Amino acid sequence: MPELSRRRALTTTVALAATTGVRTVVPAQASADPHHSPGTFDEVYKGRRIEGRPVGGHHHGTGYTILVDGVELHVMRNADGTWISVVSHYAPVPTPRAAARTAVDELQGAELLPFSAN
């Protein structure tokens, strides 16, 4: 009997999954449509009010505005559909809501100061 290699095991697994109708799970950030703008949100997270809504005319098409306690949190969408903020620039997240929550976590109760992108 031939020795089972990783390649052969993977090929067999993929073929089996395809024939049994098993769906492939893709991480949210990899499957995010970079041309789709998420909806609005308005909630209190850890005692801070976070709001988000799409806005038109920002850079390349529709942008997104996030407010933390009424102060704008500068956010940007990456090419892969993930989001980053000025507070958590090196920690991409799948949605603007997650960016707002991450910023609140990072601020640890500190006030968000206005940010000038220019």
- Residue 36's pLDDT is 61
Pick the closest to residue 66 from 40, 44, 31, 34 (CA basis): 40
This prediction's pTM: 0.66
Q: Which amino acid is at 19?
A: T
For CA atoms 61, 66, 71, 76, the dihedral sign is: negative
Tokens found for residue 100 = 């707002």
Cα angle 48-31-49, degrees, rounded to a multiple of 5: 5
Does the pLDDT at position 115 exceed 60?
A: yes
Residues 42-54, mean pLDDT to the nearest whole number: 96
- Residue 114's pLDDT is 85
CA distance 95 to 82: 7
Residues 64-81, mean pLDDT to the nearest whole number: 94
Query: How would residue 56 be classed by pLDDT, with cut points 50, 70 and 90?
Result: confident
CA distance 109 to 6: 49
Express each pLDDT in 6-45 by its tens digit: 666 556 655 545 555 544 443 444 444 555 668 899 999 9
More confident residue, 11 or 72: 72
Domain boundaries, the chain: 29-107
Query: In the 8-state DSSP scheme, what is residue 98?
Result: H
Report the CATH number of the 29-107 domain: 3.30.1880.10
